[in-house]
Amino acid sequence: MFSRCAELTDVMVFEAHGNDQQQEGQLRFVQSVYQNARLISEQSDDDPTYAKRKMYLCENRVEKQAANESGNSAQFLAAHSEEGR
């Protein structure tokens, strides 16, 4: 879904979820789609039960072909789903 949304826009806001390792993996994936992923918030203020979510401003999308080849989306979702947290 992220790759599909990236095809439609040059700028996206992304909020990572899961444990630290999952969030690091999500950020690596985002960085394979966008050249710049700038941290804009260390934590989420809208959910006091799970505030440990970082938000990024993603800009400068890489070429569409490169973004589509960055990895298998199903594998990414399985490895980084919230069910694993």
Provide CB contacts within 8 A for 67, sequence distance 6+: 3, 6, 7, 32, 33, 61
- Rounded to two decimals, what is the model's pTM? 0.68
Q: What is the pLDDT along the chain (85 residues), one digit of tens a residue?
A: 888 889 888 899 999 988 999 999 999 999 999 999 999 998 887 777 777 889 999 999 987 544 444 455 566 566 656 565 4
pLDDT digits (tens, 9 = 90+) for 52-75: 889 999 999 987 544 444 455 566
Q: Which residue segment(s) compose the domain that 73 sits in?
A: 2-84
Domain count, the chain: 1
pLDDT at 2: 86
The SS3 assignment for 59 reads: strand
